[in-house]
């Protein structure tokens, strides 16, 4: 039986097909220290086995974690076309924080304690330095979130992604006591809305952002945004805020009374669409526009577009990354506790009798 090699052709290798196993091994070696920087005593040191292991219960007195009826929560998300900006600028060390934030904040919205995180990185070619930058951000996000980077997967897909392109996906697993899950079902008329400040655009609406900034306005990543005294790259790559510290503190402080009745992570769809997801069908949420300062980045985009206000509020978080629905008797003390973690917050509205809708009112 004849073959190409019989006729003098050089035998093919995996490297010829676009996958360099030597570089892949180097990349795995580079990221190990970053992964280990997120580990606590609850991670079992199993070496390089095929999956990671995490202890749900920790019995050491100072670190004790005990649950009566534990429920596991899980969330998955990506970073979207914000990655296009990272590729344009060659800056890959912040999108990993975004990746962690999007899933962790979803779990926090149910009152969960983030336990561990898994990442999936798909790249056009083996690039140890770029992968290290990406995972450096993921590890930083995990440390901010208080969860372990337990494992992940790196796929080299040269025929799927163009030169320099890549994609990310993340998976967070959290735990909550069944009776303490914050589902929104106890929300009632008279409850107040506390909006927690976002760090900027977070990771939503970037298809519109790129259309405005790069296509219509013709700006470059190193162009300076005079309103913000920062470059376009700095503004657009500002990482998503992770709310583990203030949320877990508030929930831990009010262990007996159920004073936090609902939480919404404000992502794609804006304030109205995300807050609606936690409302019972017998109440409305009245969000009072003007009760919090809309960050300059949103004003800049609206003017640069131009984009109408209704569309801005439909697409972006407009400065509120999370909204808590709380008992009115504890609203001020909850807000003060949140601010003690360096996160600005405001009373941005209230709950009224209704039919499960969100109304943005003046």
Residues 211 and 299 in one domain: yes
Mean pLDDT to the nearest integer, 315-341: 97
User: How long a stretch of residues is the chain?
Assistant: 362
Residue 185 lies in a domain: no
Residue 218, phi-psi category: left (phi > 0), alpha (psi -120 to 50), beta (remainder): left
Residues 159 and 197 in one domain: no
Query: H helices within 120-187, ranges in order?
Result: 128-145
Tokens for 277, please give them.
């997801």
**Predicted local confidence at residue 360, as pLDDT:** 97
Task: Tell which of 180, 211, 238 closes a domain.
Answer: 180
Q: Residue 28: how many CB atoms within 10 A of its CB?
A: 14
The answer to which of 42-51, 102-111, 305-314 has the lowest mean pLDDT is: 42-51
Residues 245 and 317 in one domain: yes
Residue with tokens 């004073």: 259
Q: Which residues pair with 254 in a beta bridge?
A: none
- What pLDDT, in 10s, does the model give residues 213-247? 999 999 999 999 998 999 999 999 999 999 999 99
Residues 47 and 92 in one domain: yes
CA dist 184 and 342 (Å) reads 26
Residue partners of 293: CB distance under 8 A and separation at least 6: 319
Tell me, what DSSP letter sits at residue 147? Answer: -
Contact present, 85 and 206 (Cβ < 8 Å): yes
- What pLDDT, in 10s, does the model give residues 140-196? 999 999 999 998 999 999 989 999 999 999 999 999 999 999 999 999 999 999 999
Instruction: Give the DSSP per-residue string, 44-67.
Output: ----S-SS--B-S-B-SGGG-B--
Residues 112 and 225 in one domain: no
Domain CATH for 157: 3.30.1330.10
With cut-offs at 50, 70 and 90, classify the pLDDT of residue 277. very high
- What pLDDT, in 10s, does the model give residues 79-123? 999 999 999 999 999 999 999 999 999 999 999 999 999 999 999
**Pick from 151, 205, 201: nearest CA to 173:** 151
Residues 28 and 171 in one domain: yes
Contact present, 234 and 220 (Cβ < 8 Å): no
Contact present, 207 and 107 (Cβ < 8 Å): no
Tokens for 352, please give them.
């009224």
3-state secondary structure of 141: helix
Task: Tell which of 129, 159, 180 closes a domain.
Answer: 180
Tokens for 253, please give them.
């402080």
Total count of domains within the chain: 2
Task: Tell which of 114, 147, 180 closes a domain.
Answer: 180
Expressed as residue numbers, the domain containing 215 is 192-361
Residue 46 lies in a domain: yes
Residue 186 lies in a domain: no
Instruction: State the pTM of this model.
Output: 0.91
């Amino acid at each position: 039986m004849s073959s190409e090699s019989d006729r003098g052709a050089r035998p093919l290798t995996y490297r010829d097909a676009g996958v360099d196993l030597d570089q892949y091994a180097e990349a795995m070696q580079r990221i190990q220290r970053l992964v280990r920087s997120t580990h606590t005593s609850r991670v079992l040191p199993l070496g390089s086995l095929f999956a990671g292991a995490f202890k749900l219960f920790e019995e050491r007195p100072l670190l004790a974690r005990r649950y009566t009826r534990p429920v596991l929560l899980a969330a998955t998300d990506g970073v979207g076309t914000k990655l296009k900006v990272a590729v344009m600028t060659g800056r890959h060390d912040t999108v990993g924080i975004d990746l962690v934030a999007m899933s962790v904040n979803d779990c926090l919205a149910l009152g969960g304690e983030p336990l561990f995180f898994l990442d999936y990185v798909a790249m056009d070619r083996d690039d140890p330095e770029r992968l290290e930058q990406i995972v450096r951000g993921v590890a930083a996000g995990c440390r901010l979130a208080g969860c372990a980077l337990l494992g992940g997967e790196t796929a080299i897909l040269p025929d799927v992604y163009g030169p320099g392109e890549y994609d990310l996906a993340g998976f967070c697993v959290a735990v909550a006591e069944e009776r303490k899950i914050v589902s929104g079902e106890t929300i009632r008329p008279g409850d107040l809305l506390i909006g927690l400040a976002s760090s900027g655009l977070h990771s939503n609406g970037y298809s519109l952002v790129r259309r405005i900034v790069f296509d219509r306005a013709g700006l470059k990543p190193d162009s300076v945004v005079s309103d913000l005294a920062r470059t376009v790259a700095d503004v657009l790559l500002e990482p998503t805020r992770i709310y583990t510290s203030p949320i877990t503190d508030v929930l831990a402080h009010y262990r007996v009374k159920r004073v936090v009745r609902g939480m919404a992570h404000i992502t794609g769809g804006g304030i109205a669409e995300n807050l609606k997801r936690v409302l019972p069908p017998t109440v409305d949420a009245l969000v009072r526009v003007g009760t919090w300062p809309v960050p300059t980045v949103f004003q800049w985009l609206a003017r640069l577009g131009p984009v109408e206000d209704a569309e801005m509020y439909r697409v972006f978080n407009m400065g509120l990354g999370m909204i808590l629905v709380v008992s009115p008797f504890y609203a001020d003390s909850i807000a003060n506790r949140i601010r003690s973690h360096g996160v600005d917050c405001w009373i941005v509205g209230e709950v009224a009798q209704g039919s499960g809708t969100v109304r943005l009112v003046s």
